[in-house]
Chain A
Amino acid sequence: MSNPEQAQVINLSAAEMEFAQEIAELGGEEIFKCIQCGKCAAACPKVLAGFPFFNKRTIQAILIGAKETMLDDSSIWACQSCNRCTEVCPRKVRPFEIMLAMRRAAVREFAIPTLAIEGLKSLYDVGHAVYLREAWQSRNKVGLPEKPPSVLASPPALTEVQAIMQKTALSELGIIPMGESGVTEVCSR
Chain B
Amino acid sequence: MKVGFFVGCNTAFNRPDLEQAVRYAFPALGVELDDLEGQSCCPTWGTLPSIDLVGWCALAARNYALAEEKDLDMVTVCGSCYGSLAETRHKMLTHPQIKAQVNEILKDTTGKEFRGTSNIRHAVYYLHKELGPEKVSEAVKHRLNGLTIAAQPGCHALWPSEVYADPEKDTFHPQVLEQMCAALGAEAPYYSRLTDCCGMGGMRSTDMDKSFKLVLTKLLSMKEEINPDLIVTSCSSCLIQFDTAQEFLQKDRLLDFELPVLHYVQLLALCLGADPQQVTGLAKTGVDRVVNRILGG
Contacts and interface: CB of A to CB of B under 8 A. Distances in A.
Interface of A: 26-27, 45-46, 48-51, 74-75, 77-84, 86-87, 96, 100, 103-104, 107, 112-113, 115-116, 119-120, 123, 127-132, 135, 138-139, 141-144, 148-151, 153-154, 156-158, 160-161, 163-170, 173, 175
A128 B41 contact: yes
Contacts of A79: 45, 202-203
Given A49-B203, A128-B13, 19 more contacts: A45-B155, A48-B197, A49-B207, A77-B46, A78-B207, A80-B203, A81-B202, A83-B159, A84-B159, A100-B45, A107-B50, A113-B205, A130-B9, A131-B9, A139-B12, A160-B110, A161-B40, A164-B59, A168-B55
Nearest to B15: A138
Contacts of B201: 80-81
B29 to A, nearest CB: 20
B38 A116 contact: no
Contacts of A173: 51
Interface string B196-222: 110111110111001101100100000
B139 interface: no
Interface string B102-131: 000110111010000000000000000000
A75 B205 CA distance: 11
A173 B50 CA distance: 13
A157 B143 CA distance: 42
B49 A100 contact: yes
Contacts of A163: 108-110
Interface in B209-252: 210-211, 213-214, 217
Interface of B: 7, 9-10, 12-14, 16-17, 19-20, 23, 35-41, 43-55, 58-59, 62, 80, 83, 105-106, 108-110, 112, 155-156, 158-161, 171, 196-197, 199-203, 205-207, 210-211, 213-214, 217, 275, 277-279, 281-282
Contacts of B36: 149
A80 B278 contact: no
B9 A128 contact: yes
B173 to A, nearest CB: 13
Contacts of B206: 74-75, 77-78, 113
A24 B171 CA distance: 28
Contacts of B46: 77, 115-116, 119, 129
A186 to B, nearest CB: 13
Main SS class of interface, A: helix
A78 B203 contact: yes
Nearest to A50: B210
Contacts of B282: 138, 141-142
Given A48-B214, A116-B47, A149-B37, A167 B55 contact: yes
A127 B13 contact: no
A82 to B, nearest CB: 3
Contacts, number: 227
Contacts of A84: 155, 159
Contacts of B37: 149-150, 153-154, 157
B109 A148 contact: no
Contacts of B9: 128-131
Contacts of B10: 130
Nearest to A77: B206
A127 B143 CA distance: 40
Nearest to B101: A167
A113 B205 CA distance: 9
B55 A165 contact: yes
A164 B45 CA distance: 17
B192 to A, nearest CB: 13
Interface centre among B9, B39, B281 (most CB of A within 10 A): B9
18 contacts: A77-B46, A78-B206, A81-B49, A81-B156, A87-B158, A87-B159, A87-B171, A103-B51, A115-B205, A128-B9, A141-B281, A142-B281, A150-B12, A157-B40, A165-B55, A166-B109, A167-B108, A169-B55
Contacts of A100: 45, 49-50, 53
Contact of A150 (B39, B58, B59, B211): B39
A49 B214 CA distance: 6
Contact of A143 (B50, B105, B278): B278
